[in-house]
Amino acid sequence: MNALDIIAENKIVAIVRLDDLSVAKELSAALIDGGIRAIEFTLTNPAAIDTIAAIKELVDPGVAIGAGSVISAEQVRAVAAAGAQFVVSPVYKRDVVAACHKHQLPAMPGAFTPTEILQAWEQGAAVVKVFPANHLGRRYIKDVLAPLPQLRLMPTGGVTAENMREFLENGAFALGVGSSLINNEAVADRDWKRLRDNARRCVKQIT
């Protein structure tokens, strides 16, 4: 199963944006044990590329490991070499999408308005990350899809266990879930049970 199929089936992409990735192995294990099947490590941490390579070697083929906050073609090449299976960006950049195509990676660029979303889609985005979704609301997804039903949209920013079902009911293809799933306090305390329980609660909302 490829990364896009894994995301389509499981709906949640866990966004790992941490200053300290030394606990990435334990964190990933907790998320996976909680039912998460797609994990994104953001390049806001310089150690993310090495982390992707390390975690990719540990997980089974049913788990997709990707890179987030990718904003250059050079970064696409680096994460492809590390074994990333999908690429997420906060914005749409033509050269980033083109580089994803070159390396046969699903591109998931960020966009906000219907015009931006459609431009990204027409340039070959596999999924468009609607960001920041917390400023738009759940019905925004339905409103955009009404005239553009061919789109695959992944709202990100403000997605929680409490609202994710509503996002999906309004047509979201998948959901990018960050701080509401990966609680910084729990990570600092090495409370992997809490993170696993967070993951299970989120997964329960979509099953």
What value, to the nearest 5°, has the Cα angle with vertex 69 and ends 97 and 42? 130
- Catalytic, out of 9, 25, 26, 40: 40
Answer whether 173's CB lies under 8 Å from 8's CB.
Answer: yes
Identify the sign of the CA torsion 62, 153, 146, 97: negative
Active site residue 40: yes
Residues 6+ apart with CB under 8 A from 95: 72, 73
Q: What SS3 state is found at 5?
A: helix
25 catalytic, yes or no?
Answer: no
DSSP 123-148: TT-SSEEETTGGGT-THHHHHHHTT-
Q: Is 11 left (phi over 0), alpha (psi -120 to 50) or beta?
A: left
Q: Which of 129, 169, 193, 204 is catalytic?
A: 129
Copy the structure tokens of residue 10. Answer: 């499981």
Question: Is 198 in contact with 32 (CB distance < 8 Å)?
Answer: no
Instruction: Count CB neighbours of 139 within 10 A.
Output: 12
Task: List the catalytic residues.
Answer: 40, 129
